[in-house]
Chains A and B, each alone.
Chain A
Protein backbone atom coordinates (compact mmCIF):
# COMPACT_ATOMS: atom_id res chain seq x y z
CA UNK A 1 0.00 0.00 0.00
CA UNK A 2 1.36 3.31 -1.11
CA UNK A 3 0.38 5.18 2.02
CA UNK A 4 2.03 2.75 4.34
CA UNK A 5 5.17 2.76 2.27
CA UNK A 6 5.40 6.50 2.49
CA UNK A 7 5.05 6.44 6.25
CA UNK A 8 7.85 3.92 6.40
CA UNK A 9 10.07 6.08 4.22
CA UNK A 10 9.39 9.17 6.26
CA UNK A 11 10.08 7.20 9.39
CA UNK A 12 13.50 6.39 8.01
CA UNK A 13 14.09 10.07 7.36
CA UNK A 14 13.17 10.86 10.91
CA UNK A 15 15.75 8.54 12.31
CA UNK A 16 18.57 10.71 10.99
CA UNK A 17 17.21 13.80 12.70
CA UNK A 18 20.16 14.36 14.97
CA UNK A 19 21.79 17.47 16.29
CA UNK A 20 23.77 19.37 13.66
CA UNK A 21 23.85 19.11 9.93
CA UNK A 22 24.88 15.62 8.98
CA UNK A 23 21.50 14.61 7.59
CA UNK A 24 21.28 14.11 3.86
CA UNK A 25 19.42 16.85 2.06
CA UNK A 26 16.05 15.57 0.99
CA UNK A 27 14.20 16.55 -2.17
CA UNK A 28 11.22 17.59 -0.04
CA UNK A 29 13.15 20.40 1.60
CA UNK A 30 14.63 21.48 -1.72
CA UNK A 31 11.14 21.87 -3.13
CA UNK A 32 9.97 24.03 -0.23
CA UNK A 33 12.54 26.68 -0.94
CA UNK A 34 12.58 26.24 -4.73
CA UNK A 35 16.00 24.64 -4.52
CA UNK A 36 17.56 27.55 -2.68
CA UNK A 37 20.90 26.53 -1.24
CA UNK A 38 21.69 28.14 2.06
CA UNK A 39 24.80 28.06 4.18
CA UNK A 40 24.99 27.11 7.79
CA UNK A 41 27.65 26.65 10.41
CA UNK A 42 28.89 23.14 10.99
CA UNK A 43 31.89 21.61 12.72
CA UNK A 44 34.40 19.93 10.43
CA UNK A 45 36.58 16.96 11.34
CA UNK A 46 39.05 19.11 13.24
CA UNK A 47 36.35 20.61 15.44
CA UNK A 48 36.57 23.95 13.62
CA UNK A 49 33.47 25.75 12.44
CA UNK A 50 33.06 26.40 8.77
CA UNK A 51 30.31 27.64 6.52
CA UNK A 52 28.94 24.74 4.58
CA UNK A 53 26.49 24.92 1.71
CA UNK A 54 23.45 23.02 2.72
CA UNK A 55 19.82 22.48 2.00
CA UNK A 56 17.35 23.57 4.61
CA UNK A 57 17.38 21.37 7.70
CA UNK A 58 14.66 18.75 7.29
CA UNK A 59 12.57 19.58 10.40
CA UNK A 60 12.51 23.23 9.35
CA UNK A 61 10.61 22.45 6.19
CA UNK A 62 8.15 20.47 8.29
CA UNK A 63 7.31 23.48 10.47
CA UNK A 64 7.35 25.72 7.42
CA UNK A 65 4.78 23.43 5.81
CA UNK A 66 2.76 23.54 9.00
CA UNK A 67 2.69 27.33 8.84
CA UNK A 68 1.61 27.30 5.20
CA UNK A 69 -1.09 24.72 5.84
CA UNK A 70 -2.49 27.04 8.46
CA UNK A 71 -2.49 29.91 5.96
CA UNK A 72 -4.11 27.76 3.27
CA UNK A 73 -6.78 26.68 5.72
CA UNK A 74 -7.61 30.32 6.37
CA UNK A 75 -7.69 31.07 2.63
CA UNK A 76 -10.09 28.21 1.99
CA UNK A 77 -12.33 29.37 4.80
CA UNK A 78 -12.31 32.88 3.36
CA UNK A 79 -13.12 31.57 -0.12
CA UNK A 80 -16.19 29.82 1.21
CA UNK A 81 -17.35 32.92 3.02
CA UNK A 82 -16.94 35.00 -0.14
CA UNK A 83 -18.89 32.40 -2.13
CA UNK A 84 -21.63 32.44 0.48
CA UNK A 85 -21.82 36.22 0.21
CA UNK A 86 -20.85 36.82 3.84
CA UNK A 87 -17.83 38.98 3.00
CA UNK A 88 -16.56 40.83 -0.06
CA UNK A 89 -13.73 39.50 -2.20
CA UNK A 90 -11.37 41.92 -0.46
CA UNK A 91 -11.48 39.52 2.45
CA UNK A 92 -10.09 36.77 0.24
CA UNK A 93 -7.27 39.00 -1.03
CA UNK A 94 -6.46 40.12 2.48
CA UNK A 95 -6.23 36.56 3.77
CA UNK A 96 -4.35 35.29 0.73
CA UNK A 97 -1.71 37.95 1.27
CA UNK A 98 -1.45 37.03 4.96
CA UNK A 99 -2.64 40.45 6.02
CA UNK A 100 -5.02 41.63 8.68
CA UNK A 101 -7.22 44.72 8.69
CA UNK A 102 -4.56 46.85 10.37
CA UNK A 103 -1.94 45.96 7.78
CA UNK A 104 -4.29 46.56 4.84
CA UNK A 105 -5.23 49.91 6.37
CA UNK A 106 -1.56 50.87 6.61
CA UNK A 107 -0.81 49.83 3.05
CA UNK A 108 -3.78 51.60 1.54
CA UNK A 109 -3.53 54.69 3.72
CA UNK A 110 -7.06 54.47 5.08
CA UNK A 111 -8.41 54.21 8.60
CA UNK A 112 -9.18 50.72 9.87
CA UNK A 113 -12.91 51.22 10.06
CA UNK A 114 -13.02 51.99 6.36
CA UNK A 115 -11.23 48.76 5.47
CA UNK A 116 -13.60 46.89 7.78
CA UNK A 117 -16.55 48.50 6.08
CA UNK A 118 -15.26 47.56 2.63
CA UNK A 119 -15.27 43.91 3.69
CA UNK A 120 -19.06 43.97 3.77
CA UNK A 121 -20.49 42.94 0.36
CA UNK A 122 -23.21 45.57 0.57
CA UNK A 123 -20.68 48.41 0.92
CA UNK A 124 -18.22 46.83 -1.47
CA UNK A 125 -20.73 46.73 -4.33
CA UNK A 126 -21.08 50.51 -4.09
CA UNK A 127 -17.38 51.38 -3.99
CA UNK A 128 -16.02 53.91 -6.46
CA UNK A 129 -13.23 53.09 -8.88
CA UNK A 130 -10.95 55.35 -6.91
CA UNK A 131 -11.41 53.35 -3.74
CA UNK A 132 -11.01 50.10 -5.61
CA UNK A 133 -7.81 51.34 -7.25
CA UNK A 134 -6.12 51.48 -3.85
CA UNK A 135 -6.75 47.77 -3.36
CA UNK A 136 -5.96 46.95 -6.98
CA UNK A 137 -2.55 48.57 -6.65
CA UNK A 138 -1.82 46.77 -3.41
CA UNK A 139 -2.74 43.32 -4.75
CA UNK A 140 -1.35 43.97 -8.25
CA UNK A 141 -4.62 43.27 -10.08
CA UNK A 142 -6.87 45.41 -12.23
CA UNK A 143 -9.87 47.33 -10.95
CA UNK A 144 -12.10 45.38 -13.35
CA UNK A 145 -11.08 42.08 -11.88
CA UNK A 146 -11.82 43.41 -8.42
CA UNK A 147 -15.21 44.71 -9.52
CA UNK A 148 -16.15 41.35 -10.95
CA UNK A 149 -15.09 39.70 -7.73
CA UNK A 150 -12.63 37.34 -9.35
CA UNK A 151 -10.46 35.46 -6.88
CA UNK A 152 -6.97 35.41 -8.36
CA UNK A 153 -4.02 33.70 -6.68
CA UNK A 154 -1.91 35.94 -4.42
CA UNK A 155 1.13 37.88 -5.61
CA UNK A 156 3.71 35.40 -4.41
CA UNK A 157 2.13 32.47 -6.27
CA UNK A 158 2.12 34.37 -9.56
CA UNK A 159 5.69 35.50 -9.23
CA UNK A 160 6.96 32.05 -8.37
CA UNK A 161 5.26 30.69 -11.48
CA UNK A 162 6.70 33.47 -13.61
CA UNK A 163 10.21 32.85 -12.41
CA UNK A 164 9.76 29.15 -13.09
CA UNK A 165 8.58 29.86 -16.62
Chain B
Protein backbone atom coordinates (compact mmCIF):
# COMPACT_ATOMS: atom_id res chain seq x y z
CA UNK B 1 0.00 0.00 0.00
CA UNK B 2 1.96 2.90 -1.29
CA UNK B 3 -0.80 5.08 -2.53
CA UNK B 4 -3.68 5.47 -0.27
CA UNK B 5 -6.00 8.33 0.18
CA UNK B 6 -9.63 9.12 0.40
CA UNK B 7 -11.71 12.23 0.72
CA UNK B 8 -11.59 13.97 4.00
CA UNK B 9 -13.44 17.21 4.61
CA UNK B 10 -10.63 19.40 5.89
CA UNK B 11 -11.91 22.49 7.61
CA UNK B 12 -9.62 24.93 9.30
CA UNK B 13 -10.54 25.61 12.87
CA UNK B 14 -9.28 27.63 15.77
CA UNK B 15 -8.65 24.85 18.28
CA UNK B 16 -7.09 21.52 17.41
CA UNK B 17 -9.08 19.10 19.55
CA UNK B 18 -12.55 20.46 18.81
CA UNK B 19 -11.51 20.86 15.16
CA UNK B 20 -10.52 17.21 14.92
CA UNK B 21 -13.73 16.11 16.66
CA UNK B 22 -15.87 18.22 14.32
CA UNK B 23 -14.03 17.08 11.19
CA UNK B 24 -14.22 13.41 12.14
CA UNK B 25 -17.96 13.66 12.79
CA UNK B 26 -18.51 15.60 9.57
CA UNK B 27 -16.70 12.92 7.62
CA UNK B 28 -19.30 10.45 8.90
CA UNK B 29 -22.15 12.61 7.72
CA UNK B 30 -22.94 14.57 10.86
CA UNK B 31 -22.60 18.21 10.01
CA UNK B 32 -21.28 19.88 13.13
CA UNK B 33 -19.34 23.08 13.57
CA UNK B 34 -16.16 23.37 15.56
CA UNK B 35 -17.71 25.69 18.14
CA UNK B 36 -20.56 23.20 18.66
CA UNK B 37 -18.11 20.35 19.20
CA UNK B 38 -16.22 22.56 21.66
CA UNK B 39 -19.37 23.34 23.62
CA UNK B 40 -20.81 19.82 23.62
CA UNK B 41 -17.42 18.56 24.71
CA UNK B 42 -17.36 21.02 27.60
CA UNK B 43 -14.06 22.51 26.46
CA UNK B 44 -14.02 25.72 28.48
CA UNK B 45 -12.11 25.90 31.71
CA UNK B 46 -9.77 27.99 33.76
CA UNK B 47 -6.94 26.79 35.92
CA UNK B 48 -3.89 28.44 37.41
CA UNK B 49 -1.61 25.74 38.80
CA UNK B 50 1.69 27.30 39.87
CA UNK B 51 3.04 24.01 41.22
CA UNK B 52 3.13 22.57 37.69
CA UNK B 53 5.89 24.26 35.75
CA UNK B 54 6.33 24.63 32.00
CA UNK B 55 9.85 25.80 31.23
CA UNK B 56 9.97 27.13 34.76
CA UNK B 57 6.75 29.09 34.38
CA UNK B 58 3.43 28.31 36.11
CA UNK B 59 0.77 26.40 34.22
CA UNK B 60 -2.18 28.53 33.15
CA UNK B 61 -4.89 26.83 31.17
CA UNK B 62 -8.04 28.21 29.61
CA UNK B 63 -9.43 24.91 28.42
CA UNK B 64 -10.28 21.53 29.80
CA UNK B 65 -7.50 18.92 30.02
CA UNK B 66 -6.31 17.37 26.76
CA UNK B 67 -8.62 14.64 25.54
CA UNK B 68 -11.65 15.88 27.50
CA UNK B 69 -13.60 17.07 24.46
CA UNK B 70 -13.02 13.82 22.58
CA UNK B 71 -14.00 11.76 25.59
CA UNK B 72 -17.22 13.72 25.98
CA UNK B 73 -18.03 13.30 22.29
CA UNK B 74 -17.27 9.59 22.47
CA UNK B 75 -19.66 9.20 25.40
CA UNK B 76 -22.63 10.45 23.38
CA UNK B 77 -25.26 7.77 22.90
CA UNK B 78 -24.61 5.60 19.86
CA UNK B 79 -21.24 7.18 19.15
CA UNK B 80 -18.44 4.65 19.41
CA UNK B 81 -14.83 5.65 19.33
CA UNK B 82 -11.92 3.26 19.24
CA UNK B 83 -8.91 4.54 21.14
CA UNK B 84 -5.52 2.98 21.66
CA UNK B 85 -2.15 3.88 23.09
CA UNK B 86 1.10 2.10 22.27
CA UNK B 87 4.47 1.32 23.73
CA UNK B 88 6.29 0.53 20.53
CA UNK B 89 6.50 3.10 17.68
CA UNK B 90 6.65 0.43 14.95
CA UNK B 91 3.53 -1.21 16.27
CA UNK B 92 1.82 2.18 16.46
CA UNK B 93 2.67 3.06 12.86
CA UNK B 94 1.56 -0.39 11.67
CA UNK B 95 -1.78 0.07 13.42
CA UNK B 96 -2.13 3.46 11.76
CA UNK B 97 -1.46 1.93 8.32
CA UNK B 98 -3.96 -0.79 9.00
CA UNK B 99 -6.69 1.67 9.90
CA UNK B 100 -5.90 3.73 6.81
CA UNK B 101 -6.12 0.59 4.68
CA UNK B 102 -9.64 0.16 6.02
CA UNK B 103 -10.37 3.73 4.79
CA UNK B 104 -10.73 5.13 8.27
CA UNK B 105 -9.49 8.64 8.94
CA UNK B 106 -7.44 8.38 12.11
CA UNK B 107 -7.08 11.01 14.80
CA UNK B 108 -3.70 11.22 16.51
CA UNK B 109 -2.41 12.97 19.56
CA UNK B 110 1.06 14.31 18.82
CA UNK B 111 3.72 16.65 20.08
CA UNK B 112 4.26 19.86 18.15
CA UNK B 113 8.04 20.03 18.41
CA UNK B 114 8.86 17.30 15.89
CA UNK B 115 6.33 18.19 13.21
CA UNK B 116 8.35 19.69 10.33
CA UNK B 117 5.43 21.54 8.76
CA UNK B 118 4.95 23.72 11.83
CA UNK B 119 6.42 27.22 11.55
CA UNK B 120 9.51 27.72 13.65
CA UNK B 121 7.87 30.21 15.99
CA UNK B 122 5.52 27.54 17.33
CA UNK B 123 7.95 24.66 17.78
CA UNK B 124 7.67 24.26 21.53
CA UNK B 125 7.46 21.02 23.51
CA UNK B 126 3.69 20.96 23.60
CA UNK B 127 2.31 17.44 23.50
CA UNK B 128 -1.45 17.78 23.38
CA UNK B 129 -1.85 18.58 19.71
CA UNK B 130 -4.43 16.69 17.66
CA UNK B 131 -4.58 15.99 13.94
CA UNK B 132 -6.20 13.62 11.48
CA UNK B 133 -4.28 11.34 9.12
CA UNK B 134 -6.33 10.52 6.07
CA UNK B 135 -3.89 8.95 3.62
CA UNK B 136 -0.42 7.84 2.79
CA UNK B 137 1.66 8.35 -0.34
CA UNK B 138 4.97 6.55 -0.40
CA UNK B 139 6.67 7.42 2.86
CA UNK B 140 4.59 10.51 3.46
CA UNK B 141 1.36 10.80 5.38
CA UNK B 142 -1.41 13.12 4.32
CA UNK B 143 -2.54 15.07 7.33
CA UNK B 144 -5.50 17.28 7.97
CA UNK B 145 -4.20 19.49 10.74
CA UNK B 146 -7.15 21.62 11.83
CA UNK B 147 -5.00 24.63 12.66
CA UNK B 148 -3.68 24.89 9.08
CA UNK B 149 -5.61 26.30 6.14
CA UNK B 150 -4.98 23.29 3.88
CA UNK B 151 -4.00 19.63 4.32
CA UNK B 152 -0.28 19.06 4.83
CA UNK B 153 2.21 16.24 4.34
CA UNK B 154 4.58 14.78 6.87
CA UNK B 155 7.31 12.12 6.47
CA UNK B 156 6.63 8.89 8.36
CA UNK B 157 9.74 9.21 10.49
CA UNK B 158 8.82 12.64 11.80
CA UNK B 159 5.25 11.61 12.47
CA UNK B 160 6.46 8.61 14.47
CA UNK B 161 8.63 10.93 16.51
CA UNK B 162 5.79 13.36 17.09
CA UNK B 163 3.52 10.50 18.19
CA UNK B 164 6.07 9.39 20.75
CA UNK B 165 7.15 12.77 22.06
CA UNK B 166 8.22 12.65 25.70
CA UNK B 167 7.60 15.07 28.48
CA UNK B 168 4.41 16.39 30.08
CA UNK B 169 1.20 14.96 28.57
CA UNK B 170 3.17 12.49 26.47
CA UNK B 171 0.84 11.20 23.74
CA UNK B 172 2.25 7.64 23.77
CA UNK B 173 1.15 7.16 20.19
CA UNK B 174 -2.50 7.66 21.01
CA UNK B 175 -4.76 7.09 18.01
CA UNK B 176 -8.53 7.08 17.73
CA UNK B 177 -11.25 6.74 15.15
CA UNK B 178 -15.02 6.65 15.10
CA UNK B 179 -16.49 3.22 14.53
CA UNK B 180 -20.17 4.01 14.85
CA UNK B 181 -22.20 7.19 14.70
CA UNK B 182 -25.93 7.86 14.76
CA UNK B 183 -27.44 9.35 11.59
CA UNK B 184 -28.15 12.56 13.46
CA UNK B 185 -27.36 14.11 16.80
CA UNK B 186 -30.08 15.22 19.16
CA UNK B 187 -28.55 18.57 20.03
CA UNK B 188 -30.82 19.82 22.83
CA UNK B 189 -29.78 17.49 25.65
CA UNK B 190 -26.17 17.47 24.46
CA UNK B 191 -25.94 21.24 24.65
CA UNK B 192 -27.43 21.21 28.15
CA UNK B 193 -25.04 18.48 29.21
CA UNK B 194 -22.00 20.34 27.87
CA UNK B 195 -23.06 23.55 29.60
CA UNK B 196 -23.69 21.70 32.85
CA UNK B 197 -20.21 20.18 32.88
CA UNK B 198 -18.54 23.54 32.22
CA UNK B 199 -20.60 25.25 34.93
CA UNK B 200 -19.57 22.58 37.37
CA UNK B 201 -15.90 23.17 36.63
CA UNK B 202 -16.14 26.95 36.64
CA UNK B 203 -18.33 27.45 39.72
CA UNK B 204 -18.55 24.40 41.96
CA UNK B 205 -15.00 23.21 42.32
CA UNK B 206 -13.71 22.75 45.85
CA UNK B 207 -10.23 23.42 44.59
CA UNK B 208 -9.58 27.17 44.78
CA UNK B 209 -7.18 27.31 41.85
CA UNK B 210 -9.65 26.44 39.10
CA UNK B 211 -12.76 28.03 37.70
CA UNK B 212 -13.82 31.56 38.53
CA UNK B 213 -12.03 31.33 41.88
CA UNK B 214 -8.88 30.43 39.96
CA UNK B 215 -9.09 33.67 38.00
CA UNK B 216 -9.41 35.61 41.25
CA UNK B 217 -6.49 33.64 42.68
CA UNK B 218 -4.32 34.47 39.67
CA UNK B 219 -5.26 38.13 40.07
CA UNK B 220 -4.29 38.05 43.73
CA UNK B 221 -0.93 36.48 42.99
CA UNK B 222 -0.26 38.76 40.04
CA UNK B 223 -0.45 41.85 42.23
CA UNK B 224 2.71 40.68 44.03
CA UNK B 225 4.64 39.50 40.99
CA UNK B 226 6.84 42.60 40.57
CA UNK B 227 7.94 42.50 44.22
CA UNK B 228 8.27 38.74 44.46
CA UNK B 229 9.92 37.95 41.15
CA UNK B 230 11.61 41.16 40.12
CA UNK B 231 10.68 43.09 37.00
CA UNK B 232 12.17 40.79 34.39
CA UNK B 233 10.78 37.51 35.74
CA UNK B 234 7.41 39.14 36.33
CA UNK B 235 7.29 40.17 32.67
CA UNK B 236 8.18 36.64 31.58
CA UNK B 237 5.33 35.31 33.69
CA UNK B 238 2.97 37.87 32.18
CA UNK B 239 4.04 36.99 28.66
CA UNK B 240 3.47 33.33 29.44
CA UNK B 241 -0.08 33.95 30.65
CA UNK B 242 -0.86 35.94 27.52
CA UNK B 243 0.67 33.25 25.30
CA UNK B 244 -1.48 30.53 26.83
CA UNK B 245 -4.49 32.76 26.37
CA UNK B 246 -4.03 34.01 22.85
CA UNK B 247 -1.64 31.85 20.89
CA UNK B 248 -2.79 29.69 18.02
CA UNK B 249 -5.40 27.16 19.02
CA UNK B 250 -7.48 29.39 21.26
CA UNK B 251 -9.75 31.21 18.82
CA UNK B 252 -8.92 34.40 20.70
CA UNK B 253 -9.68 35.65 24.19
CA UNK B 254 -8.69 32.38 25.85
CA UNK B 255 -11.45 30.31 24.13
CA UNK B 256 -14.14 32.70 25.41
CA UNK B 257 -15.11 33.87 21.93
CA UNK B 258 -15.39 30.28 20.76
CA UNK B 259 -17.66 29.42 23.65
CA UNK B 260 -19.79 32.48 22.93
CA UNK B 261 -20.08 31.26 19.32
CA UNK B 262 -21.25 27.90 20.65
CA UNK B 263 -23.89 29.55 22.85
CA UNK B 264 -25.13 31.56 19.88
CA UNK B 265 -25.40 28.47 17.75
CA UNK B 266 -27.14 26.65 20.58
CA UNK B 267 -29.60 29.52 20.92
CA UNK B 268 -30.44 29.22 17.23
CA UNK B 269 -30.91 25.44 17.40
CA UNK B 270 -32.99 25.46 20.57
CA UNK B 271 -34.84 28.68 19.77
CA UNK B 272 -33.81 30.04 23.13
CA UNK B 273 -33.23 33.77 23.48
CA UNK B 274 -31.74 33.38 26.94
CA UNK B 275 -28.63 31.64 25.61
CA UNK B 276 -27.94 34.61 23.36
CA UNK B 277 -27.73 36.86 26.40
CA UNK B 278 -25.15 34.59 27.99
CA UNK B 279 -23.25 34.59 24.71
CA UNK B 280 -23.08 38.37 24.96
CA UNK B 281 -21.80 38.10 28.53
CA UNK B 282 -19.05 35.72 27.46
CA UNK B 283 -18.12 38.00 24.59
CA UNK B 284 -17.72 40.76 27.17
CA UNK B 285 -15.56 38.43 29.25
CA UNK B 286 -13.41 37.63 26.20
CA UNK B 287 -13.04 41.34 25.51
CA UNK B 288 -11.94 41.88 29.11
CA UNK B 289 -9.34 39.10 28.70
CA UNK B 290 -8.08 40.76 25.54
CA UNK B 291 -7.89 44.10 27.29
CA UNK B 292 -5.79 42.47 29.97
CA UNK B 293 -3.57 40.84 27.33
CA UNK B 294 -3.05 44.12 25.49
CA UNK B 295 -2.07 45.85 28.71
CA UNK B 296 0.25 43.00 29.70
CA UNK B 297 1.98 43.17 26.32
CA UNK B 298 2.47 46.92 26.64
CA UNK B 299 4.12 46.34 30.01
CA UNK B 300 6.32 43.55 28.59
CA UNK B 301 7.38 45.79 25.74
CA UNK B 302 8.16 48.64 28.08
CA UNK B 303 5.67 50.96 26.39
CA UNK B 304 3.63 51.72 29.41
CA UNK B 305 0.73 54.09 29.13
CA UNK B 306 -0.23 56.26 32.12
CA UNK B 307 -2.94 53.90 33.38
CA UNK B 308 -1.06 50.63 32.79
CA UNK B 309 0.14 48.92 35.93
CA UNK B 310 -0.05 45.63 37.73
CA UNK B 311 -2.95 46.80 39.94
CA UNK B 312 -4.81 47.84 36.77
CA UNK B 313 -4.30 44.36 35.30
CA UNK B 314 -5.51 42.82 38.54
CA UNK B 315 -8.60 44.98 38.24
CA UNK B 316 -9.04 43.70 34.68
CA UNK B 317 -8.78 40.07 35.75
CA UNK B 318 -11.26 40.57 38.56
CA UNK B 319 -13.63 41.99 36.01
CA UNK B 320 -13.17 38.85 33.89
CA UNK B 321 -13.94 36.75 36.93
CA UNK B 322 -17.05 38.80 37.72
CA UNK B 323 -18.35 38.56 34.14
CA UNK B 324 -17.73 34.84 33.90
CA UNK B 325 -19.18 34.24 37.35
CA UNK B 326 -22.35 36.01 36.25
CA UNK B 327 -22.53 34.18 32.93
CA UNK B 328 -22.04 30.71 34.38
CA UNK B 329 -24.37 31.29 37.35
CA UNK B 330 -27.05 32.16 34.79
CA UNK B 331 -26.18 29.20 32.59
CA UNK B 332 -26.36 26.88 35.58
CA UNK B 333 -29.91 28.02 36.29
CA UNK B 334 -30.75 27.66 32.61
CA UNK B 335 -29.37 24.12 32.48
CA UNK B 336 -31.43 23.16 35.54
CA UNK B 337 -34.61 23.98 33.66
CA UNK B 338 -33.63 21.75 30.77
CA UNK B 339 -34.84 18.15 30.76
Contact = CB atoms under 8 A, between A and B. Distances in A.
Interface SS of chain B: helix, strand, loop or mixed? helix
A158 B13 CA distance: 28
A49 B264 contact: yes
B303 interface: yes
A19 B254 CA distance: 12
Contacts of A128: none
B298 interface: yes
Interface string A51-64: 10100110111111
Nearest to A162: B116
B35 A67 contact: no
A96 B279 CA distance: 43
A136 to B, nearest CB: 14
Contact of B242 (A43, A51, A60): A60
A60 B290 CA distance: 11
Contacts of A61: 121
A156 B120 contact: yes
Contacts of A10: 303
B12 interface: yes
Interface in A19-76: 19-21, 32-34, 36-43, 48-49, 51, 53, 56-57, 59-64, 66-68, 70
A22 to B, nearest CB: 11
B330 interface: no
B240 interface: yes
Contacts of A18: 294
B120 A19 contact: no
Contact of A42 (B236, B246, B257): B257
Given A49-B264, A56-B248, A17 B287 contact: no
A39 B239 contact: no
Interface in A94-149: 97-99, 103, 106-107
A41 B298 contact: no
Given A41-B257, A63-B242, A106 B121 contact: no
A20 B287 contact: yes
Interface stretch (B1-9, B71-79, B122-130): B122-130
Contacts of B147: 38
Nearest to B301: A62
Contacts of B303: 10-11, 14
B167 interface: yes
Contacts of A4: none
Interface of B: 12-14, 34-35, 55, 113-114, 116-117, 119-125, 147-149, 166-167, 235-236, 239-240, 242-243, 246-248, 251-253, 257-258, 260-261, 264-265, 279, 283, 286-288, 290-291, 293-294, 296-298, 300-301, 303
20 contacts: A10-B303, A17-B294, A20-B253, A34-B119, A34-B120, A34-B121, A36-B149, A37-B149, A38-B248, A39-B14, A40-B251, A41-B252, A49-B279, A53-B12, A57-B252, A63-B246, A103-B166, A106-B167, A156-B120, A159-B116
Interface of A: 10-11, 14, 17-21, 32-34, 36-43, 48-49, 51, 53, 56-57, 59-64, 66-68, 70, 97-99, 103, 106-107, 155-157, 159-160, 162-163
